[in-house]
Amino acid sequence: MSLGGKRIVIAGGSGFLGTSMATEFFRAGAKVTVLTRSKQKLTGDWAYQVWDGRSIGVWIKSIDDSDAIVNLAGRTVNCIKTPDHQDEILRSRIESTRVLGQAMRMVNLPPPVWVQMSTAHIYGDPPTAVCMEESAEGIGLAPTVARAWEASGMQGMSWIHEDDINAIFKRAICDETMAGAYIVSSPNPKSQADFMRTLRKVIGMPIGLPALEWMVRIGAPLLMRTDPELVLYGRYMIPNRLLNERFAFQFAELEPALRDLYERKI
């Protein structure tokens, strides 16, 4: 799908997903501008505008007369959920979304398309239930953030290849019929045990030692400085709307997706 001639702004585009998306959009012919807090350490074939994610600044000029804005901004959840971190996780998403909305009301020609990233955590952490767009919302910090914003090994591991997520976002920019909430995930989620078994097969690691729940709860915050629930819980996501609209996933199955990504890194 060509993006030739389109001006696209990616807010919070300095991470892995934003960089991958900017690269693909640029390759497809778009003129890309990334809104970032840390311009000095970034490189790429696109423009940068520094912003703080909460207040209007000179970056607003990049919004005017653009074709689409993609909002990926938000503090990483890969951390220990201290009260301060929880506050930052919530505020970084709410404030960036609010100020983008404010900017779009201020410019002369606001972009006709706004693609807003959210989180599958809105459905909570059901152990085995399959979640779709119409599924009931969960409770807790992550669902609360999602609503405001937009260990057995059987917990769900929903995944998606970066080429497919880029293709879905390109379609969202170009297809005027797309509106509302979409689950952006492979149609074939796996259990955590199956995901790791497939990953070991792809990278040639025949043996994997299991980690008991108590090990994860102690080791994650002490050794990795992150939240153990990111590993212990999960969900099985099915992208019903994309399937009904006959979106063609390039990597619908896990093993080919992992092999492709692993071979790219070799």
Residue 137 lies in a domain: no
Structure-derived torsion over alpha carbons of residues 239, 242, 246, 250, reported in degrees to the nearest 10: -70
Ramachandran quadrant class, 24 (left: phi over 0; alpha: psi -120 to 50; beta: rest): alpha
* Residue 150 reports pLDDT greater than 50: no
> Is 49 in the same domain as 112?
yes
Split into its structural domains, the chain has a count of 2
The predicted-structure confidence for 103-112, as pLDDT tens digits, reads as follows: 999 999 999 9
> Is 12 in the same domain as 76?
yes
What is the Rg, in whole angstroms, of the alpha carbon atoms belonging to the chain? 19
**CATH no. for residue 22?**
3.40.50.720
Say if strands 190-191 and 156-157 run parallel, antiparallel, or are unpaired: antiparallel
Measured distance CA(117)–CA(128) in Å, rounded: 24
Measured distance CA(104)–CA(106) in Å, rounded: 5
Which of 117, 137, 164 delimits the end of a domain?
117
Q: What are the helix (H) ranges across 10-77?
A: 16-27, 60-63
> Is 177 in the same domain as 246?
yes
Residue 131 lies in a domain: no
Residue 185 lies in a domain: yes
What amino acid occupies position 176? E
Residue 123 lies in a domain: no
The predicted-structure confidence for 27-74, as pLDDT tens digits, reads as follows: 999 999 999 987 666 677 889 999 998 899 999 999 999 999 999 987
> Is 162 in the same domain as 249?
yes
Residue that is written with structure tokens 């976002």 in the block? 169
In terms of residue numbers, what domain contains 172?
151-266
Take residue 212 and report the two structure tokens written for it.
């008991």
Measured distance CA(13)–CA(40) in Å, rounded: 14
The predicted-structure confidence for 189-238, as pLDDT tens digits, reads as follows: 998 889 989 999 999 987 776 666 656 666 667 767 766 666 666 788 99
